[in-house]
Amino acid sequence: MIFMRKHLNNMQNRRFVLSGLAAIGAASALPGSALAYSAGEANTLITRVVSEITTIINSGRSQAAMFGDFERLFARYADVPRIAQLVLGPDNRRATPAQRAAFAEAFQGYMARKYGRRFREFIGGRLEVNNTRAVKSFYEVSTTAYLAGEAPFEVVFVVADSNGRFIDMKIEGISLIKAERTEIGSMLDRRRGDIDALIADLKRAG
């Protein structure tokens, strides 16, 4: 039983670390003008992702500086409005345009802080890009993650063919979007559905 609990904790921890790595870092190599017209180009983009995010993690900069780096990358290269819309889920339909924009901005900073605090655990680890396949209007780029003291596991980056930007990732089959939607949904429930209160708290959370 103790072994099983430890194993589950390790799985949750590595998913947490890699979620942040992908959610913020993967977008760093996806310029707004780039289009993933082919599987080869999508593969190249994620290869650049792995290189650039690893450089930031191993840069030796302070945690606060890393937060800023990751948030700027996320803001510039990720499809933040789309990710925020998917994470907010059904509640996105009742949000006003101003609330949607404010939520996307708050969520962006929240993600940078939440996952940035755990990035140091990835120091010395690595991701290796394996292969890419087209799935409907997306490309799925499969990578293998190697963390110290952990068995290798699969991380799949999802890139939109329409704009070549990062929109989701899956760790051992678990979607980042779905995981964050559950978390944000719980936060919203605790605030009795008050989207403005959620936005205000996201600005301080993470």
Rounded Cα distance between 124 and 178, Å, is: 28
If phi > 0 it is left, if psi is from -120 to 50 it is alpha, else beta; for residue 193 that is left
Three-class SS of 106-119: HHHHHHHHHHHCCH
pLDDT above 90 covers a percentage of the chain that reads 32
Q: Which tokens is 28 given? A: 């760093």
Residues sharing a CB contact under 8 Å with residue 194, sequence separation 6 or more, in sequence order = 188
Provide the whole-model pTM. 0.74
Q: Which tokens is 70 given? A: 């990751």
Task: Answer whether residue 90 shows pLDDT above 80.
Answer: yes
Mean pLDDT computed over 36-61: 79
Task: Answer whether residue 197 shows pLDDT above 80.
Answer: yes
pLDDT for position 27: 43
Task: Answer whether residue 185 shows pLDDT above 50.
Answer: yes
pLDDT for position 147: 81
Rounded Cα distance between 104 and 92, Å, is: 11
Task: Answer whether residue 201 shows pLDDT above 90.
Answer: yes
pLDDT for position 206: 65
What homologous superfamily does CATH list for 2-202? Answer: Tgt2/MlaC (3.10.450.710)
Task: Answer whether residue 52 shows pLDDT above 90.
Answer: no
- By the 8 A CB rule, do 145 and 127 touch? yes
Q: 16 pLDDT band (50/70/90 cuts)?
A: low
- By the 8 A CB rule, do 30 and 164 touch? yes
Residues sharing a CB contact under 8 Å with residue 63, sequence separation 6 or more, in sequence order = 116, 117, 120
- By the 8 A CB rule, do 158 and 177 touch? no
pLDDT for position 28: 42
pLDDT for position 176: 86
Residue with tokens 């059904």: 90
